[in-house]
């Protein structure tokens, strides 16, 4: 009963669990590691890794240490600069958004996407600034074609 009280409404993942899970996924994808490989490294199934990443299942301290080791980060990586739930969902009294930039969720979603980490890595390998500028222009043009 106590755990249900701590988690809030039944069926809705806790904000911190979701944020930790998102960071696990981002780091795993960045390292080009599958859920299966991470699961094997920490002794769980890939389905359990999925549940951790979605925030459905809470990650215990010892398991988080194993995950951090497998993903080559300190456990604090999963909590550093974590916004509060209130600040993420907050609208100021004057209707303005909170101090969190509206681009941040989009950026985090991109980083956690299938192609995001590879695109970032490869783009950073391009030394010529003119080539980078042309790539950005190309992407903008392609994105414009997809809009109605």
**Number of domains within the chain:** 2
In a domain, 15, yes or no: yes
Looking at residue 56, which CATH number applies to its domain?
1.10.260.40
Distance CA 42, CA 64 (A): 9
CA proximity to 21, closest of 91, 82, 97, 94: 82
What is the structure's pLDDT at 120?
87
**Whole-angstrom distance, CA of residue 69 vs CA of residue 77:** 11
Select from 47, 55, 57, 63 the least CA-distant residue to 82. Answer: 55
Res 58: pLDDT: 94
Q: Does residue 101 lie within any of the structural domains?
A: no
Q: What per-residue confidence (pLDDT) applies to 93? A: 40
* Domain membership flag for residue 17: yes
| pLDDT value at residue 146 | 64
User: From CA 114, how far away is CA 14, in angstroms rounded?
Assistant: 25
Upper half-sphere CA count for residue 98 (Cβ side, 13 Å): 11
pLDDT for 13 equals 82
Extract the tokens encoding 98.
Answer: 């909170």
Q: Are residues 60 and 3 in the same domain?
A: yes
Q: In this structure, what are the phi and psi dihedrals at residue 24, rounded to the nearest 5 degrees?
A: -60, -50
Query: Do 76 and 118 fall into the same domain?
Result: no
Residue 24 · residue 111 · CB < 8 Å: no
Averages of pLDDT over each 10 residues, the chain, 148 residues: 47 85 89 94 97 94 97 92 59 42 64 82 92 92 74
In a domain, 23, yes or no: yes
Helices (H), the chain: 2-7, 15-30, 35-42, 46-54, 61-70, 85-89, 103-112, 116-125, 129-146
Same domain? For 75 and 4 the reply is yes
Give the residue numbers spanning the domain of 132. Answer: 114-148
**pLDDT at residue 62, as a whole number:** 97
136 within domain boundaries: yes
Other CB atoms within 10 Å distance of the CB of residue 148: 2
DSSP character string of 18-51: HHHHHHHHHHHHHTT--HHHHHHHHTS-HHHHHH
């Amino acid at each position: 009963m106590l755990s249900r009280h701590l988690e809030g409404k039944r069926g809705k993942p806790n904000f911190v669990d979701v944020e930790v899970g998102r960071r696990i996924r981002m780091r795993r994808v960045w390292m080009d590691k599958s859920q299966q490989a991470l699961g094997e490294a920490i002794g769980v199934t890939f389905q359990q890794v999925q549940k951790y990443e979605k925030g459905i299942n809470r990650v215990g301290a010892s398991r988080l240490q194993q995950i951090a080791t497998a993903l080559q980060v300190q456990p604090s990586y999963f909590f550093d600069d974590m916004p509060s739930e209130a600040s993420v969902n907050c609208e100021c009294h004057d209707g303005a958004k909170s101090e969190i930039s509206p681009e941040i969720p989009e950026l985090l979603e991109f980083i956690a996407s299938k192609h995001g980490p590879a695109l970032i890595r490869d783009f950073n390998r391009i030394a010529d600034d003119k080539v980078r500028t042309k790539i950005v222009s190309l992407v903008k043009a392609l994105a414009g074609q997809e809009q109605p």
